[in-house]
Amino acid sequence: MKMTFRWYGEQDSIPLSYIRHVPYIKGIVSAVYTVPPGEVWPLDRITALKQQIEEARLTFEVVESVPVHEAIKLGLPTRDNYIANYKETLRRLGNAGVKVVCYNFMPAFDWFRTVIDKPLPDGSLTLAFSGEELKKIEPIIADFTLPGWDLSYPKKELPALMKQYKELGAEGIWENLAYFLAEVIPVAEEVGVKMAIHPDDPPWPVLGLPRILSKEADFDRLLELQPSVHNGITFCSGSLGSSPDNDLPGMLDKYAAQKRIHFVHLRNVKRYPNGDFEESAHLSESGSIDMAELIHILHRHQFEGYVRPDHGRMIWGEQGKPGYGLYDRALGAAYLTGLWESIERKGEACNG
């Protein structure tokens, strides 16, 4: 597996040189964050980002994300213009050496948490989801935001946008995803870019908005839409693992065997019986997900794709974008890399 690290460009509080200090991090996952969703990424900005990353002696082969404009998800008359822009951005990224593009098709906003700084017993702060807190947020949703949201609309339009999605329904979103993929996947094949869609986060409807990529049956349907290997998955353990109904090891084993996983987000979460959850340290015993089992599955399939330690706690007084501090993600990368190496060494000893 290829261990990578997400970096938010010049707006990130973490210098690339600090990430370079982490010896097992070989690549950066980033994007051109200064371009509004739906517009074509300028070639000079892609080139400048690539050069900056490579000057830090790191690779730039994964983009997260190229946002999908709401007009595409809603199937509005303007969608073909935005799809054309998306395809041109893919061509430019492919020519720049990008191998994987992570994206999502979640309506109105992507990942959702109700608390960004929940204190844990050890004194660290983490992202969390609470049904009771969600009830408090719903009346003020037009004023609510989370770090890293890629919005292609003014916040004041959110209530009207949510109404459109509720009227469209899950099947309508599926139809629009199928249309999008039919247009985009041939271009991805042409330029050698693998598309890796991110699961719904959390994997259930939020604020009445339909979600379509939350469980195994959903991903089976996704992959059948376009059988090309370029139509693939970002397997996010934290997103899918937030629901106890998902057989996380079984899903990982299945889609890794099919070679349809192109990017892996490894994050642990601690689930509660009432459906709430909080993000924990990556260590298996810290949460509800057996991270060691997931690494064993990836190793058994000799996974050669990209992995990154997903959201981390804020520890040691670090300030910055919640979930994206350096310290805990670096610890997570070390833990995950250590699990992989231990399996490698054990295999070498058995073969010897």
Q: Which residues are catalytic?
A: 198, 236, 265, 310-311, 324
Question: Phi and psi dihedrals of 215, rounded to 5?
Answer: -145, 175
* Residue 135: other Cβ atoms inside 10 A: 10
Burial of 30 (0-12, 13-18, 19+ CB in 10 A): buried
Q: Which two tokens stand for residue 274?
A: 């009432």
What 3-state class would DSSP assign to 261?
Answer: strand
> Backbone phi, then psi, for 277, in 5-degree steps?
-155, 160
User: Considering only CA atoms, which of 278, 303, 299 is closest in space to residue 289?
Assistant: 278
Residue type, 113: R
Q: For residues 179 and 177, what is the distance between their CA atoms, to the nearest angstrom?
A: 5
Q: Is 242 exposed, middle or buried (0-12, 13-18, 19+ CB in 10 A)?
A: buried
Cα–Cα dist 266/146, whole Å? 20
Beta carbons of 128 and 118 less than 8 angstroms apart: yes
Nearest to 221 by CA among 195, 192, 255, 193: 255
Q: Which residue has the tokens 């900005």?
A: 45
